[in-house]
A and B are shown apart, each in its own frame.
Chain A
Amino acid sequence: MSKRPVAGHPGGSTSPRPLGVILVDPLPVVRAGTRLLIDDRPDMEVLAEAGSADEAVEAITRVRRTRVVVLVGLGLAGGHDAYWLIRTLRERYPTHAILGFGANADPTAISRALFVGADGFVDKNIDPVDFLQALRRAADREMVLAIPTASAVGQIVEGIERRREVEVKLTDREREVLVVAAEGLTARQIATRLGVRERTITTHLARIYGKLGVGSRLAAIRMASQSGLVSVGASE
């Protein structure tokens, strides 16, 4: 607990520029607590905070740094949820380290975050020293998995595997239909939402069932949710 980073020692003239952290989480108290932890260390600092994915995208455009870690709370929900944000940041900022961040996240959520481009996942419940160490390692381009039970790694691998199996089979449009269908809308409502005819949606759904080898919408949604393709109910 009393471990001090070497870089912060007096006279350490070669100390690199502090590592910059961007905090994204819907809960202010989580951001505040995490900020306290980070700002207490001489070798890292919080560059920006955001409570939503859109705010985060906006805030990051103002960051001019190379050694950056973005912590994305997986609890971000809505159309632009945590996974949307991770995917978007991955494409725009290939050199930033992006970490999923959550409490007691199940392996499906973690594998989903990795699948869309996260460089790892950090659990809110791990020891603060381990938490800070995970940020440093992520900044050094290491894959990080800081979770209480590391044997979940097998389940995470399975999650990615399942996700690929489902995703590999579906076209972009079919995936889109399935995501909306998971909200429990009727074919007519899905059609209205996506701006196409009802008939087109039923055709898509039938094709999706065929590809996934299931007989009902419920089974298709269950499969897609197990693979992390869609969220059913509250996330995190």
Chain B
Amino acid sequence: MIGEGTAGAARLIVADAHPVVRRAVRISCDALPGLEVVGEADTGSALLAVCQELRPDVAVLDIALPDGMEAIRGLNDRQLVDIVVVLTDLTDGPSVMEALRLGVEGYLVKSSALPTVGKQIRRVLDGERVISPEVQRIAVRELGAFARMAREGSEVRATLTPREHEVLMLISAGLTMRQMAKRLGISPRTVETHMAKLYRKLDVRTRVQAVSRAVSLGLIELR
């Protein structure tokens, strides 16, 4: 699987559940000078392992893989590649927004982009952010809700004390009041006071509501 490599060619890894898609990407890229597929993976975790080993320049992956989105986070956190390109048929609003928030350089839809995928990746390598037109429309639709969430979230967040924020994190991690008290080195009674204030600021009454509101405001992320 390891290619010898033309000097200076951009090295790609393709992750997709379907061999036929991986093959299509390989054929499309190999037809172009300066692009070379050096490895393949069929899951997100396999992609991380292959990238760790081969250190490619570009990872092309389908976020419909069960651990696809997680793999992008892993690639980012461990700085394994310079460029991440999503090649998928998954175009629901939340997936599109999440991928864009993770800073992917390309978001290509298989059904329209697969025949020219090599050329699209070439454009990304030339510094363009390439997003399929149908995805752009979806992203714009989601953008308003995202901006609103970011605005409201930061307004609420600014009102929380560091302690209340800590308590919020622990609530979302599922700790009991007693466990929180122990973790923070304060009495359960004090935790209760922090929680009451937190609930008031979030405008909620229960733990579940607190977590769901905090998620919708982007204060915490459930992975």
| Residue positions of A touching B, CB distance < 8 A | 111, 114-120, 142-145, 150-158, 160-161, 163-164, 167-168, 170-172
Residue in contact with B143 in the complex, picked from A157, A168, A172, CB distance below 8 Å: A157
Q: Which 5 A-B pairs have the closest CB atoms?
A: A143-B144, A114-B147, A167-B154, A164-B150, A157-B100
Contact B150 A153 (CB under 8 A): no
Residue in contact with A150 in the complex, picked from B105, B136, B153, B218, CB distance below 8 Å: B136
Contact A154 B150 (CB under 8 A): no
Contact A154 B218 (CB under 8 A): no
With A143-B141, A157-B97, A157-B143: A150-B133 Cβ-Cβ less than 8 Å: yes
Cα A151 to Cα B97 with chains together (Å): 14
9 sampled A-B residue pairs with Cβ under 8 A: A118-B147, A143-B141, A150-B140, A153-B131, A154-B104, A154-B107, A157-B100, A158-B103, A168-B158
Cα A156 to Cα B150 with chains together (Å): 13
- A115-B147, A151-B136, A153-B100 given; name 9 further pairs at CB < 8 Å: A114-B147, A116-B151, A143-B141, A153-B136, A153-B139, A153-B140, A156-B143, A158-B103, A160-B147
Task: Give the residues from 91 to 115 in chain B that come closer than 8 angstroms, CB to CB, to chain A.
Answer: 97, 100-101, 103-105, 107
With A150-B131, A151-B129: A143-B140 Cβ-Cβ less than 8 Å: yes
Which chain A residue shows the least CB distance to B100? A157
Category for how many chain B residues contact A? 20 to 34
Contact A114 B129 (CB under 8 A): no
Q: A168 — which chain B residues lie within 8 A by C-beta?
A: 153-154, 157-158
Chain A at the B interface: SS class: helix
Contact B140 A160 (CB under 8 A): no
Which chain B residue shows the least CB distance to A163? B150
Contact A172 B144 (CB under 8 A): no
Q: B131 — which chain A residues lie within 8 A by C-beta?
A: 150-151, 153-154
Contact B128 A160 (CB under 8 A): no
Nearest chain A CB to B82 CB, angstrom units: 16
Q: B140 — which chain A residues lie within 8 A by C-beta?
A: 120, 143-145, 150, 153
Chain B at the A interface: SS class: helix
Q: B157 — which chain A residues lie within 8 A by C-beta?
A: 168
Contact A161 B150 (CB under 8 A): yes
Which chain A residue shows the least CB distance to B160? A168
Residue in contact with B158 in the complex, picked from A117, A120, A170, CB distance below 8 Å: A170
Contact A115 B150 (CB under 8 A): yes
Cα A160 to Cα B142 with chains together (Å): 13
Which chain B residue shows the least CB distance to A117? B151
Residue in contact with B101 in the complex, picked from A142, A161, A172, CB distance below 8 Å: A161
Nearest chain A CB to B69 CB, angstrom units: 15
Nearest chain A CB to B56 CB, angstrom units: 21
Nearest chain A CB to B121 CB, angstrom units: 14
Cα A155 to Cα B97 with chains together (Å): 12
With A115-B147, A119-B144, A167-B158: A157-B139 Cβ-Cβ less than 8 Å: yes
Residue in contact with A115 in the complex, picked from B107, B141, B142, B151, CB distance below 8 Å: B151
Q: B21 — which chain A residues lie within 8 A by C-beta?
A: none
Q: B128 — which chain A residues lie within 8 A by C-beta?
A: 151
Cα A167 to Cα B140 with chains together (Å): 23
Which chain A residue shows the least CB distance to B107? A154
Cα A153 to Cα B106 with chains together (Å): 11
Nearest chain A CB to B18 CB, angstrom units: 26
> Does any Cβ of A come within 8 Å of B199's Cβ?
no
Nearest chain B CB to A93 CB, angstrom units: 15
Task: Give the residues from 133 to 168 in chain B that come closer than 8 angstroms, CB to CB, to chain A.
Answer: 133, 136, 139-144, 146-148, 150-151, 153-154, 157-158
